[in-house]
A and B are shown apart, each in its own frame.
Chain A
Amino acid sequence: MKIQLSKLLPFCILAAGMLWSTSCGKPASASKGGALGSDAASRVYVAPGQYDEFYAFISGGFSGQLSVYGIPSGRLLKVIPVFSVDAEKGYGFNEETKPMLNTSFGFVPWDDAHHPELSQTNGETDGRWCFINGNNTPRVARIDLSTFETAEIIEIPNSGGNHSSPFTTENTEYVVAGTRFGVPYPQKDVAIDSYAENFRGALTYISVAPETGHMEVAFQVLLPAFDYDLAHSGKGKSHGWTFFTTYNTELKSSLLEVNASQNDKDFIAAINWKKAEEYIKQGKFREMPARYASNRYDDSVHGATSTMKDKVKVLIPEECPGLVYFLPTPKSPHGVDVDPTGEYIVGNGKLSADLTVHSFTKMQEAIAKQAFETTIEGIPVLKFDDVLAGVVTKPGLGPLHTEFDGQGNAYTTFFISSEVVKWKVGTWEVVDRAPCYYSVGHLMIPGGDSRKPDGKYLVAMNKITKDRYLPTGPELTQSAQLYDISGDKMELLLDFPTIGEPHYAQGIAASKIVDRSRKIFPIEENKHPYRAMGEKETKVVREGNTVHVYMTMIRSHFAPDNIEGIKVGDKVYFHLTNLEQDWDTPHGFSVMGARNAEILIMPGQTETLLWEPQREGVFPFYCTDFCSALHQEMQGYVRVSAAGANTPLKWKLGDDVMQ
């Protein structure tokens, strides 16, 4: 490499004047090391065996999953399957989790997961659950942080592109789901050109039960068919409100990059959800037809059930005064972020050169004055100057998202100028800036969208990595970059690849989660209908063409491990119970010719793999998770006879013929 460069050097010197943008003439700020903080390595070094200080939950974007990293080390701890099937863990392949991916469209094995959001109590992250939205087939998932598994997925009815979601209220009363696409409401066959008349945008409030976390679609607010981009709920003084950004207030359906970028100002929609609760109580809602799935996983039966719902309560702003106000905000605002006090609402106008900040207090005063600029479908539009708190002038290009450090500073990402800019809340002055490699989208400070930020680290998530890592063909990884923000200046410490495309992320002090993390499932609490609580309970039961194998696993054998009497055309359900009661002793199960995946069974759990043998023969099965010194011996055989054969059903373990 060096030789090549030195050979090229004379040419570069000659050409430098003309070819400023070639690699030899890179501007200093784009040098590969970047503004690396001094002593960065030791500050992200978490010695082998030591724990990280924070968990980071980083969305997997189009992978559909949620990744868990340790901060500051950037070590990947787990990928939690959420909206996409995961053959590694059997998620969506075993019988128990298939219902989790059920929707009104049937089984959907993929989604685009964007915004993780931790549950909060009194505006502070509490480490109980992490929510995340599915964008394409509108859904919201709840991940249980005691198991790090997806516990619930609810579909959002009459919505299209669930992007402004899930963004919790400060006691996790609700998570929200605003539609990115206007769609006919309810869905029907109409001309796309009739967008302005026929299309609507629904903002959905999903209630979260305080003890169980169970989600229900509580109500929807039906608004004009703008594109509802992002959201954040109020906190402190603004608790009771949610703010949604909009673009395409032009109401166009084609060539949006031009047509939806014409209005000088779009809106932030402010929803008074406490008022909405009153209207619901008073019965001022309409019941609309809907079709959506509510899927819940139950740790006691180790399985999920899917329920279809057919109605939704809808509030129409014209019939519910005081429910919705529009705050004019320049140029297609993307993120909307509320500072820890709840006073300031930052509209990140992505096509604007400035950053607009609204005041909650001024918004309340403007509402009291009733001096509205205009009204759209019964929704008052407040006057821009009446609600404006301040403007961060020319901080960068393409502002997207803002987080807070709890010390009066805000940090905003700029996609186009590829940087994070630090500014002071209240004086709106820019105090620092740090480059990102490259094209940063979201950023995350642990607790940075809550009332109590932990302002030590900032993670910026980049869409483009180009030359940052060893090349891997045309498709390159996306990345996250860790900055130390404890001082006056942001310092880049670390740069690490992510799974899928990271959108938003959440961070939380590890201490809030570590002690809640479960080690095993107590076997005596296993209520799976096909469990075998010990080797004495194992059996093989034939019901017509369906065969249920009640099998156990413990280091280092299956019981039974020899099965005969299976026939071509049978549907064989292997119900595996892991009898282990020790931490980190899962066993896996795979059988030759299975056209789904392996299953991975945690201690005390039961999981089921469906196997449909197509040919006669004797087929091996084995444990896929290296469980013990005799893991390789953890194997068995199942004999398959012809469809009409009368091979008797029998099974055994060692010399014990069990039947």
Chain B
Amino acid sequence: MKQLPRLLMFLAALSLLALFIWPMWKIVLYAPQYPDGVEMHIYINKLGGTSPGTLQNVNILNHYVGMKAIEPDSIPELQYFQYVILALVFLGLVATAINRRWAFMAWLILLVVLAIAGIYDFYLWEYDYGHNLSDTAPIKIPGASFQPPLIGVKEILNFTAVSLPHWGGYFFGLGMILAGVASWLTGKTRRA
């Protein structure tokens, strides 16, 4: 029982590895012609979807309104973000080794700061794709923007766009919770 906080911290660090298996985020577009939705997956190091053609399909849909093509090679975050995650896992293991409340807390704060930064970065990309439209777009709708929701559901022209975390994102959240509980338990045992 005494080792429980340390075990939780260890699991918190490991839970970030889920980001190498599952996408962290998904954006699903529903339209009459896409009853099952076009489901795009955002991984820490690539973009994908429920089929190999998903990204191409999203780009085909987007080009009618002049959105630029989403090219994974042009998104630097996809190159370096995986190293940030690996570093976080490493620091999490260091915190496990230290096995002190301050270490757990420090790791948790780092995670929260990075999550906020990541979401802000995601917002900027969405804003850019949604507002930076080509002058020669076949379909122009004055005043319209095609920015998908940060999180939740939004109607964009004929599409319903849904933006939600995927498994990787949930495991990231789990890491935060586990680190938080670990910190809290260490504080409690001290006082006791």
Contact = CB atoms under 8 A, between A and B. Distances in A.
B64 interface: yes
Interface string A574-611: 00000111100000000000000000000100000000
Interface stretch (B51-59, B86-94, B145-153, B162-170): B51-59
B116 interface: no
Contacts of A554: 60
B64 A520 contact: no
B76 interface: no
B33 to A, nearest CB: 8
B138 interface: yes
B52 A581 contact: yes
B139 interface: yes
Interface in A619-634: 628-630, 633
Contacts of A633: 138
B138 A581 contact: no
B136 to A, nearest CB: 10
A25 interface: no
A628 B61 CA distance: 10
Given A629-B139, A630-B138, A581 B64 contact: no
Interface in A420-463: none
A581 B139 contact: no
Query: Chain A CB within 10 Å — which of B52, B53, B57 has the most?
Result: B53
Contacts of B57: 581-582
Contacts of B139: 629
Interface string B54-83: 001100100010000000000000000000
A289 interface: no
A79 to B, nearest CB: 24
Nearest to B56: A581
A603 to B, nearest CB: 8
A2 B38 CA distance: 56
Interface string A505-520: 0000000000000011
B69 to A, nearest CB: 12
Contacts of B64: 628-630
Interface in A556-582: 579-582
B81 to A, nearest CB: 26
| Interface range for A | 10 to 19
Determine which residue in A579, A581, A603, A630 has the highest number of CB atoms from chain B within 10 A of its CB, and name it: A581
A519 B60 CA distance: 18
A260 B79 CA distance: 81
A302 interface: no
A581 B53 CA distance: 5
A628 B31 CA distance: 13
Interface string B40-52: 0000000000011
A70 B2 CA distance: 66
A522 interface: yes
A89 interface: no
Contact of B53 (A582, A628, A629, A630): A582
A555 B60 contact: yes
A582 B52 CA distance: 9
Contacts of B138: 629-630, 633
Nearest to B60: A555
Interface size class of B (residues with CB under 8 A): under 10
Interface string A55-90: 000000000000000000000000000000000000
Nearest to A630: B138
Nearest to A629: B64
Contacts of B51: 519-520, 581
A519 B64 CA distance: 24
Contacts of A603: 53
Interface string A159-173: 000000000000000
Nearest to A524: B52
A519 B52 CA distance: 12
Contacts of B60: 554-555, 580, 582, 628
A518 to B, nearest CB: 12
A520 B138 CA distance: 27
Nearest to A581: B53
A554 B69 CA distance: 14
Contacts of A579: 56
B158 to A, nearest CB: 10
Nearest to B136: A654
Contacts of A522: 52
A554 B51 CA distance: 17
A407 B149 CA distance: 58
A625 to B, nearest CB: 14
A516 to B, nearest CB: 17
A544 to B, nearest CB: 37
A340 B53 CA distance: 45
A629 B138 CA distance: 10
B120 to A, nearest CB: 32
A596 B51 CA distance: 35
A617 B60 CA distance: 33
Interface string B12-46: 00000000000000000000000000000000000
Contacts of A520: 51, 53
B143 to A, nearest CB: 20
Interface string A486-525: 0000000000000000000000000000000001101010
Interface in B99-133: none
A579 B52 CA distance: 12
Contacts of A582: 53, 56-57, 60
Nearest to B63: A555
A519 B34 CA distance: 14
Nearest to A520: B53
Contacts of B53: 520, 580-582, 603
Nearest to B38: A582
B121 to A, nearest CB: 29
A48 to B, nearest CB: 13
A580 B60 CA distance: 9
B135 to A, nearest CB: 14
A350 B53 CA distance: 56
A202 B60 CA distance: 57
Nearest to B34: A582
A513 to B, nearest CB: 19
Nearest to A555: B60
23 contacts: A520-B51, A520-B53, A522-B52, A524-B52, A555-B60, A579-B56, A580-B56, A580-B60, A581-B51, A581-B53, A581-B56, A581-B57, A582-B53, A582-B56, A582-B57, A603-B53, A628-B64, A629-B64, A629-B138, A629-B139, A630-B64, A630-B138, A633-B138
Interface of B: 51-53, 56-57, 60, 64, 138-139
Interface of A: 519-520, 522, 524, 554-555, 579-582, 603, 628-630, 633
| Top 9 A-B pairs, shortest CB-CB distance | A581-B53, A582-B57, A555-B60, A581-B56, A582-B53, A630-B138, A581-B52, A629-B64, A522-B52
Given A580-B53, A581-B51, A581-B52, 19 more contacts: A520-B51, A520-B53, A522-B52, A524-B52, A554-B60, A555-B60, A579-B56, A580-B56, A580-B60, A581-B57, A582-B56, A582-B57, A582-B60, A628-B60, A629-B64, A629-B139, A630-B64, A630-B138, A633-B138
